[in-house]
Chain A
Amino acid sequence: MIARLALALALAAALPALAEAGSFCHDRSTVLGYRHCRRFGAWSHPVAMWWDFGATVLHYDPQMIDATASAVHGGDVTQYRVIADPSDHRGVTALGARMASHLALPGGWLYIGAQMDLAPELAGPRLVADVTARGTSTTLDSASSGYVMSNEMLVGARVAIGGVVASTELAPGVRFAQYATSDLPDRVTAPVQTWFVLELHQKLELWLGPHTSVGVELGVDLLHTDAVEGGVTFGVHLEPFGGIR
């Protein structure tokens, strides 16, 4: 988390130079051959920024469920390890909202960004709670009322093909899941788990107008290939056609 914040701040300090080269570089003349800050043809590769808003669906294998709940009983902390019932092979499926912000680097085809998904769980397997302190286990009701949240950085490349933009993104990040169960005592915190993801996204965007687009995206977690995700988004672009058409 701290590393990501540091990276965000570093980018915040560095990107103005990319967005407007003159910020740190001052030429005596704007004439070609006499200037050094801005190369000829900078207008051909504008810096572009856009946002996506939409719906997302996240799905992952029940074997990835490895959450922890804890309770304090008179000063003693009891850990509950919560996993999927081995006999229940239903994956976790969550449907929710997505927000993403992108910044194309000079050159136009390479971009960076950030994406957040927040999705209530629609379906999931029965859960089993191992009460570590007691050496017992309890089968819980289905994990179908929790939520999954993803925070990812994006590094992508895009290309315009007619009226469509095709993109490939690498998205390292963190996913957080909370599973709501009714079988654990009220004083026990809801089981939660956090894990790293490294997703590969494939995306297609269709222009609705110079500043708007609609996109579909599919992705797979390269670290847990049973985890897939998808999204349908509405894009708002500051530069006409994202500066790429």
Chain B
Amino acid sequence: MTVAWCVALAACYVPHIPAEPTGTRVELGCVALGVAFRGDDVARGPIVVYRFVNRCDHRAVIDLASVRVLARDTAGREVALAAYDPDRELRALPLPARLDGVEAIEYRGLERADIASLCVDVGGIAAGAPRAARWICDGAPR
């Protein structure tokens, strides 16, 4: 019976293999971060995709709520964008040792078509690492 249990449990398990971050790479202490910009058929604003890997043997706190986002419109004005988070889920969470995660977040405040360039400050994402501004910029994400 125990063997049957083991087989049943094993059959249900979906193994997880940490992936290397894609996009622009940043090392933030234990956290390797990849940032990519893209559009989406559903979302109105630009979307930033964060892929992160904890390379340490202990937890690392990932704080995506700390990200500052600035967009420059076609007239050259700078506008601060805010994460679209209708359910107020966005918060700092621990990432277990040697595991990874991905989140795609839409930022609102300027229509995507009006954005000439977009910059995100990811310096605060790894909550345990020293805080320093780390700006990553892209052209107009479509």
Contacts and interface: CB of A to CB of B under 8 A. Distances in A.
Contacts of A44: 62, 93-96, 101
B100 A11 contact: no
A32 B4 contact: no
A33 B84 contact: yes
A30 interface: yes
A86 interface: no
A172 interface: no
Interface string B21-46: 00000000000000000001111000
B9 A239 contact: no
Contact of B89 (A8, A9, A40): A40
Given A49-B9, A210-B97, A239-B16, A33 B1 contact: no
* Chain A, interface SS category: mixed
B57 A210 contact: yes
A17 to B, nearest CB: 9
Contacts of A116: 1-3
B97 A240 contact: yes
A245 interface: yes
A72 B103 CA distance: 70
A133 interface: no
Interface string A32-45: 11100001111110
Given A43-B102, A99-B2, A239-B16, A31 B9 contact: no
Nearest to B99: A46
Contacts of A29: 40-43
B6 interface: yes
A4 interface: yes
Q: How large is the interface on A (under 10, 10 to 19, 20 to 34, 35 or more residues)?
A: 35 or more
Contacts of A100: 2
A238 interface: yes
Interface in A8-22: 8-9, 11-12, 15-16, 18-20
B90 A32 contact: yes
Interface string B66-100: 00000000000000000111110111011111111
Contacts of A245: 57-59, 96-97
A115 B42 CA distance: 47
B6 A241 contact: no
Nearest to A43: B101
Contacts of B102: 43
Contacts of A18: 12
A241 B1 contact: no
A12 B8 contact: yes
A91 interface: no
12 contacts: A9-B8, A15-B9, A19-B12, A30-B104, A32-B83, A32-B103, A40-B91, A46-B16, A49-B13, A114-B2, A240-B96, A243-B99
Interface of B: 1-6, 8-16, 40-43, 47, 57-59, 62, 83-87, 89-91, 93-106
3 tightest Cβ-Cβ pairs between the two chains A and B: A43-B101, A114-B5, A15-B12
